[in-house]
């Protein structure tokens, strides 16, 4: 009966199949002038592979079906299929994101160094850990970053904080998260070049032609990100992003006017013909000072100015200037409005190399109670004394404000500590959390070449959640922080990395130590042996009395 109305159905199926595996490429560039005269930029290159499906990990033992990509980056696609990865996020950042002055970043992954996390389905054929290792090594080769050293001593599974950003397909097996950070990883042109190779237009045409490494890596903060996720009913989306924070006041003599030429030292000469949409957005600052934007061919919508790069006249150079301002005036501290809901500061106190005190202070700027999840994935270099955890809010000890969700203690040389807790922040107050930590004494071969510098500790991650009791917000609140309307979505916040100073042995002395210790032990042993094994005899000393 099904085959009766089959001809049209088959034709339709063919048409939809042709369209189903179509690929779309969108590129966008967003500019956001910040309150302290800086400029936050964000490049986004999104490739959507329609109708595609991540590889089912239960098929890992068989040959994979052949994939055909036209725009979708082949190298990345091959890695994803080889290890049956459902969702992947890789960020390589340098600098410290200043939440207090810059607000929330557009891409939440701003932890310093390299951060890689992936959701993978379980499989009996190849374990998640095995595929995680293969994935790390493949990506480290792809991006010229030393991601291969994210071994089990740096890998954790913090499922409370790193929720999947796409959807996880229903295969009947559970998905597992693997997360690793390398805070001491440096980012440079070596990492940008393979990143650009993943783009269909490379860096020749379109918005990607603005990616000038000389200017990008001179920025106050820069980070590149690769995000792969599966969207149900749509397909697999690869989003390559490059965020940076420039300082136009530093380039010019005191003015915060900027243009594509002054920021990137390049203009857009040709638009990328493959791009489905290619646009530049500029956020209009909310202050009263007049702003001039050239060229005039833009549309305005919801506080943003949109330029369509494909239609605009080339060469395209966008500029923004403040004509009434002679010199940029930095805001004084008292007039600075908090740009985020919470502010975090994390320090390691103590001057001894045997122990210290980890101290975190979280300030809640909102007039309502906020709950945040707090994640510490500390390498085994620093071991926590959980019984010494103290919480103070406004000088009063409040143990009810923390609830520890999970704590996996570290095992030296094997695995890091995972500490996840939910903190309740009372309105308009500061919470002080502190805990004793002990610093171990490492073996000779475990120290890095520059041992006296110390070790970088990964950032702690906070996810502010809305407290369930308060859903209405005070409308009379003057100067609400930007991103206020996104209060209902959890956005990860990263603290800066810490540097811990560990005791070092004398590296010039292995032979000396061995011979001195062995000499002492051998001497004592030899003398004890002598005493115990010889027989006593009497000797006549004075002559026989005659």
- Residues binding another protein (CB under 8 A): 351-355, 380, 383, 385-388, 404, 407-414, 417, 436, 438, 440-445, 503-506, 509-510, 513-514, 516-518, 520-521, 523-525, 527-528, 530-542
- Which lies closer to another protein via its Cβ, residue 243 or residue 417? 417
Nearest Cα neighbor of 377 from 462, 442, 453 is: 462
Q: Report in angstroms how near the CB of residue 423 gets to another protein at its nearest.
A: 17
Compare residues 186 and 355 and give the one whose CB is closer to another protein: 355
Q: Which is nearer to another protein, 488 or 534 (CB)?
A: 534
Closest CB 390 distance from another protein, rounded Å: 13
Minimum CB separation of residue 232 from another protein in Å reads 37
Provide, rounded to whole angstroms, the least separation between the CB of residue 32 and another protein: 44
Q: CB-based contacts of 89: which residues, under 8 Å, 6+ apart?
A: 109, 115, 116, 117, 118, 165, 225, 226, 227, 228
What string of H, E and C letters represents the secondary structure of 13-27?
Answer: HHHHHHHHCCEEEEE
**Residue with smaller CB distance to another protein, 68 or 535:** 535
| Whether the Cβ atoms of residue 266 and residue 210 lie closer than 8 Å to each other | yes
User: Checking DSSP bridges between strand 498-500 and strand 455-457, what pairing results, if any?
Assistant: antiparallel
Nearer to another protein, 144 or 389 (CB): 389
- Length of the chain as a residue count: 546
DSSP 544: P
Residues whose CB is less than 8 angstroms from the CB of residue 172 and which lie 6 or more positions away in sequence, other chains included: none
The CB-of-402 to another protein minimum distance in angstroms stands at 12
Nearer to another protein, 350 or 490 (CB): 350
Question: What burial letters (b/e) apply to 278-314, b meaning 16+ CB within 10 Å?
Answer: bbbbbbebeeeeebebeeeebeeeeeebebebeebee
Written as six digits, the tokens of 399 are 């143990």
Q: How far is the CB of 196 from another protein (least distance, A)?
A: 41
Q: Which residue's CB is nearer to another protein, number 233 or number 533?
A: 533
Taking the C-alpha atoms of residue 208 and residue 271, their distance in angstroms, rounded to an integer, is 9
Q: How far is the CB of 404 from another protein (least distance, A)?
A: 7
Q: 186 — phi, psi (to 5°)? A: -95, 155
Shortest distance in whole angstroms from residue 526 CB to another protein: 10
CA distance 250 to 256: 8
Of 217 and 380, nearer to another protein (C-beta) is 380
Orientation of helix 74-82 relative to helix 128-143, angle to 10° = 160
CB of 156 to another protein, least distance (A): 14
Q: Which is nearer to another protein, 336 or 518 (CB)?
A: 518
Separation CA 238–CA 49 (nearest Å): 8
Q: How far apart are alpha carbons 59 and 83 in whole angstroms?
A: 11
């Amino acid at each position: 009966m099904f085959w009766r109305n089959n001809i049209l159905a088959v034709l339709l199926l063919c048409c939809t199949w042709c369209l189903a595996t179509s690929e779309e490429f969108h590129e966008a560039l967003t500019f956001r002038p910040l309150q302290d005269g800086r400029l936050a930029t964000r490049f986004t290159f999104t490739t959507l592979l329609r109708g595609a499906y991540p590889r089912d990990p239960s098929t890992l033992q068989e040959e994979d079906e052949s994939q055909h990509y036209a725009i979708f980056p082949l190298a990345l696609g091959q890695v994803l299929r080889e290890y049956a990865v459902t969702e992947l996020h890789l960020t390589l950042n340098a600098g410290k994101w200043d939440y207090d002055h810059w607000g929330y970043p557009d891409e939440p992954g701003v932890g310093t160094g390299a951060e890689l996390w992936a959701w993978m389905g379980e499989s009996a054929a190849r374990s998640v850990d095995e595929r995680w290792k293969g994935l790390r090594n493949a990506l480290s080769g792809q991006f010229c970053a030393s991601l291969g050293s994210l071994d089990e001593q740096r890998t954790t599974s913090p499922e409370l904080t790193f929720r999947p950003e796409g959807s996880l397909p229903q295969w009947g097996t559970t998905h597992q998260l693997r997360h690793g950070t390398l805070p001491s990883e440096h980012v440079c042109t070596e990492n940008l070049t393979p990143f650009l190779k993943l783009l269909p237009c490379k860096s020749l045409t379109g918005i990607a032609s603005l990616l000038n490494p000389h200017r990008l890596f001179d920025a106050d903060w820069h980070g590149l990100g690769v995000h792969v996720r599966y969207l149900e009913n749509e397909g697999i989306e690869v989003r390559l992003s490059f965020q940076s924070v420039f300082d136009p006041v530093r380039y010019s003599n005191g003015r915060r006017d900027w243009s594509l030429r002054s920021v990137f030292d390049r203009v857009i000469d040709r638009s990328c013909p493959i791009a489905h949409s290619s646009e530049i957005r500029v956020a209009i600052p909310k202050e009263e000072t007049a702003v001039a934007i050239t060229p005039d061919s833009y549309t305005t919508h919801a506080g943003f100015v949109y330029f369509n790069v494909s239609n605009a006249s080339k060469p395209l150079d966008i500029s923004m200037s403040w004509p009434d301002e002679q010199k940029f005036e930095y805001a004084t501290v008292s007039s600075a409005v908090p740009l985020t809901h919470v502010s975090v500061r994390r320090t390691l106190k103590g001057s001894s190399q045997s122990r210290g005190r980890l101290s975190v202070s979280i300030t809640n700027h909102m007039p309502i109670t906020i709950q945040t999840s707090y994640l510490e994935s500390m390498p085994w270099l620093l071991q926590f004394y959980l019984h010494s955890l103290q919480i103070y809010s406004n000088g009063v000890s409040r143990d009810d404000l923390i609830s520890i969700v999970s704590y996996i203690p570290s095992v030296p040389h094997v695995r890091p500590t995972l500490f996840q807790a939910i903190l309740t922040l009372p309105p308009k107050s500061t919470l002080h959390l502190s805990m004793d930590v002990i610093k171990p004494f490492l073996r000779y071969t475990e120290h890095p070449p520059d041992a006296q510098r110390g070790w970088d500790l990964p950032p702690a991650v906070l996810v502010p959640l809305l407290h369930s009791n308060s859903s209405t917000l005070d409308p009379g609140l003057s100067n609400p922080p930007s991103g206020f309307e996104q209060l209902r979505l959890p956005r990860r916040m990263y603290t800066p990395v810490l540097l811990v100073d560990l005791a070092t042995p004398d590296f010039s002395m292995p032979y000396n130590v061995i011979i001195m210790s062995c000499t002492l032990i051998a001497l004592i042993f030899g003398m004890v042996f002598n005493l115990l094994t010889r027989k006593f005899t009497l000797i006549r000393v004075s002559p026989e009395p005659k």
